[in-house]
Structure 1
Amino acid sequence: MGWALYDSKSAPDVFDIVWCRWPYTAAKLQPSDEARPVLVIDVRDQIYDPTEQIYADITVAYGTGAENITVADWRSHLLINKAEFRAAGLHKPTVFKLDLKNRKRLPWGEKYFVPNEYVREQKIICGKLSEAQRSAALSCFVAQNLSFPLP
Structure 2
Amino acid sequence: MPVLGPNDIFDIEATGLPVAFDMVWCKYPYRQLGKEPGPAARPCLVRQAFTRSTLIKGAHFVVGYVNVVYGTKQIDKFDPPQGFHVSDIAEKQACGLTVDTVFDLQDNMILPWSPIYFSNQHNRPIIGGRLTVAMQARLKEQAAQLK
- TM-score, with length taken from structure 2: 0.87
Question: Is this contact kept in 2: 1:63–1:94, CA < 8 A?
Answer: yes
Instruction: Identify which of 67, 77, 80 aligns with 2:83.
Output: 77
1:57-98 CA distance string (max 9 Å, x none): 100000011xx2326422121111132212221111111111
For residues 70 and 55 of structure 1, the distance between their equivalents in structure 2, rounded to whole angstroms, comes to 36
Aligned residue pairs total 138
Moved over 3 A (4+): none
Instruction: Identify which of 30, 53, 61 aligns with 1:53.
Output: 61
Question: Is this contact kept in 1: 2:75–2:101, CA < 8 A?
Answer: no
Corresponding residue for residue 17 of structure 1: 23
Corresponding residue for residue 30 of structure 1: 36
Gaps of 5+ in 2: none
Q: Which amino acid aligns with 1:5?
A: I
Q: Which amino acid aligns with 1:39?
A: L
Which structure is higher in helix share?
Answer: 2
Corresponding residue for residue 113 of structure 1: 118
For residues 44 and 134 of structure 2, the distance between their equivalents in structure 1, rounded to whole angstroms, comes to 18
For residues 78 and 10 of structure 2, the distance between their equivalents in structure 1, rounded to whole angstroms, comes to 34
Q: Which amino acid aligns with 1:52?
A: H
For residues 77 and 126 of structure 2, the distance between their equivalents in structure 1, rounded to whole angstroms, comes to 29
Give the root-mean-square deviation of aligned CA atoms. Answer: 1.5
Q: How does 1:103-142 map to 2 (within 5 A)?
A: 103-117=108-122, 121-142=123-144
Query: What is the deviation of 1:7?
Result: 2.1
- TM-score, with length taken from structure 1: 0.84
For residues 82 and 16 of structure 1, the distance between their equivalents in structure 2, rounded to whole angstroms, comes to 17
Q: Secondary structure at the match of 1:78?
A: strand
For residues 48 and 96 of structure 2, the distance between their equivalents in structure 1, rounded to whole angstroms, comes to 19
For residues 96 and 70 of structure 1, the distance between their equivalents in structure 2, rounded to whole angstroms, comes to 11
Using the aligned pairs only, state the percent identity: 29
